Amino acid sequence: MKSTHHQAIIVGSGMGALTTACLLAQQGLNCLVLEQNYLPGGCTSSYWRKGFVFESGATTLVGLDPHMPLQYLLNQTGIKLNTIHLSLPMQVHLKDQQVAQRYQSLDAWITEAERVFGKKNQRKFWEFCYKVSQFVWKTSLRQTAFPPTQLADWWQCIRNASVQQVNYARYAFFSMQWLLKKFDLLDNQLFVNFVDEQLLITAQNYHPEVNVLFGATALCYTNYKNYYMPGGLINLVNPLIEYLEQHGSEVILRNGVQQIEYNTVNQQYNITAKKGNYTCDFLISGVPLNNTVQLYKNAVKPTLKHKVLPSEKLNSAFQMGIGFTPGKHTPQNCIHHQIHLPKPLPEVGSHSIFVSLSHPKDPSRCDTKGQMVASISTHIAHPAQNTNINKDLVEQVILDTLEQKGFLAKEDIIYSHSSTQKSWQKWTGRAYGFVGGYPQYMNTKPWQMVGARLDQHKAYLCGDTAYPGQGIPGAVLSGIIAFDKLKRDWL
């Protein structure tokens, strides 16, 4: 068991953790990233199996527009990504057999929404949501002291505040249910169902529990540039790893952290991991708050302990990975699809499945030319309780649905596998195998969400359980915030 000292140790290698690590390395700090898995990336990674490259979790890449966190990280580090822009970000297959084309262009999408859901107030609703989303993204990198937990944070927030920010902040008190009612759309059940299933993708909850700031932004993510990463999202993670190594930092895989303790005498953190013991001046936890409080021998801030969400307020996922030979009806013009089910999925109870296909111009995810990969996911509520899932039954319904929709023929399937929350917990180490971060709840306002400071010393938290939460852009922003607060506190 070796023992080494580093200026900063980062627990986990998800997008939040790697963001903070890269920004610290840019400042000249010697960083050590400790990851329990054999691959980096956490919920943003890819793995090879039986001749195919499957995504471990996230499948959509957003955040490269101006004012967005991922683009900011790339600008700061000079990292270049090889991406494919998606001209059509998503198709939504509704219960009434209509297919809604989620165009990036706001005007084109509004015209489509009017065709599918009726003209009544669709334009007003979507123009309002898009305006809110623009405000949220433009504000996100200006208010990296948010949520404020110290007097200095409040001062920083006030200095960077604008009349527009004060005006829009009030929408944190209103739910998406209020917004639907405001535009007289609550009686449009087809549209409400659409909104709910779309909100689940990035807000992890339904319209009564999602505030307008987060909800409007979540609904409009397809109105910003969406990308595909050839070879899988591991190729988003690998350039960050390379950047760290080029700047004198280190990433050790298969080296899960087992205990964290703050030594008040030498004012350093003692880290016990699978492959050794380490000490550091600064600690950044990129794993969920649920896991972090279990690792931390010294008490984290009491206010944070109260913010740990139990299983009944979390979601996990049922996932399938399929390698297949595409047929003449397999979609070619769109790779991301949300399919609304005619009745809840057995065993799981979800109302939709999300399907992501490998890009037709990306042969690197299949060992054999002419084949494709499909990644399918759906929500599992209260993952600690719903553990005895008949996977064969769920798989059968999903395959029937995909065949009925023309995505594939069962006889063309070369390989498939599925996983539940147990697999998620083993893969990521996340408590209960929960995914997608903390869902939005109306009793938790943005300034009450989990902040970046973990204790009263030099420990910080990032990732999808810290503000602002879900998705690659949210996780990256949490990493930027953790870095910025650490820098202002100590550097």
What residue segments make up the domains of the chain, in order of their start?
2-46+59-82+231-309+437-490, 102-222, 311-433
- With a cut of 90, say whether residue 466 has pLDDT above it: yes
Report, as an integer, the average pLDDT of 5-17: 97
Q: Is the pTM above the cut of 0.85?
A: yes
Question: Which pLDDT score, from 0 to 100, does residue 2 have?
Answer: 55
Number of residues in the chain: 491
Question: Which pLDDT score, from 0 to 100, does residue 3 have?
Answer: 62
| Torsion angles phi and psi, residue 424, rounded to 5 | -60, -45
Question: Which pLDDT score, from 0 to 100, does residue 386 have?
Answer: 83
- Please check whether residue 12 is in contact with residue 289, taking contact to mean a CB–CB distance below 8 angstroms: no
Please tell me the least confidently modeled range out of 2-6, 158-162, 439-443. Answer: 2-6
CB neighbour list of residue 301: distance below 8 Å, 6 or more residues apart: 453, 454, 455, 456
| The dihedral sign for the CA sequence 96, 320, 56, 235 | negative
Report, as an integer, the average pLDDT of 379-398: 94
Report, as an integer, the average pLDDT of 165-173: 95
- Note the CATH architecture for domain 311-433: 2-Layer Sandwich (3.30)
Report, as an integer, the average pLDDT of 145-169: 94
- Please check whether residue 315 is in contact with residue 432, taking contact to mean a CB–CB distance below 8 angstroms: no
Report, as an integer, the average pLDDT of 295-307: 81
Please tell me the least confidently modeled range out of 56-65, 299-308, 346-355, 371-380. Answer: 299-308
Q: What is the pLDDT of residues 14-44, one digit of tens each?
A: 999 999 999 999 999 999 999 999 999 999 9
Question: Which pLDDT score, from 0 to 100, does residue 1 have?
Answer: 47
Per-residue tokens: 289: 């708050």
CATH of span 2-46+59-82+231-309+437-490: 3.50.50.60
- The DSSP output letter for 88 is S
Give start and end residues of each alpha helix (H) in 56-105.
Answer: 69-77
**Share above pLDDT 90 across residues of the chain, in percent, rounded to a whole number:** 93
- Band of the pLDDT at 184, cuts 50, 70, 90? very high
Question: Which pLDDT score, from 0 to 100, does residue 303 have?
Answer: 77
Per-residue tokens: 270: 């003692």
Report, as an integer, the average pLDDT of 472-483: 97
- Band of the pLDDT at 216, cuts 50, 70, 90? very high
| The dihedral sign for the CA sequence 407, 57, 447, 139 | negative
- Band of the pLDDT at 297, cuts 50, 70, 90? confident
Q: What is the pLDDT of residues 110-128, one digit of tens each?
A: 999 999 999 999 999 999 9
| The dihedral sign for the CA sequence 156, 63, 39, 27 | negative
Q: What is the dihedral of CA 12, 13, 19, 24, to 10 degrees?
A: 60
Q: What is the pLDDT of residues 57-77, one digit of tens each?
A: 889 999 999 989 999 999 999
Report, as an integer, the average pLDDT of 477-483: 98
Question: Which pLDDT score, from 0 to 100, does residue 304 have?
Answer: 84
Report, as an integer, the average pLDDT of 377-387: 93
- With a cut of 60, say whether residue 383 has pLDDT above it: yes
- With a cut of 90, say whether residue 469 has pLDDT above it: no
CB neighbour list of residue 339: distance below 8 Å, 6 or more residues apart: 93, 352, 353, 354, 355, 401, 405
- With a cut of 50, say whether residue 266 has pLDDT above it: yes
How would you label 304-342 residue by residue, b for 16+ Cβ within 10 Å and e otherwise? beebbbebeebbbbbbbbbbbbbeeebbeebbbbbbbbe
- Band of the pLDDT at 464, cuts 50, 70, 90? very high
Give start and end residues of each alpha helix (H) in 207-358.
Answer: 212-219, 234-246, 289-295, 302-305
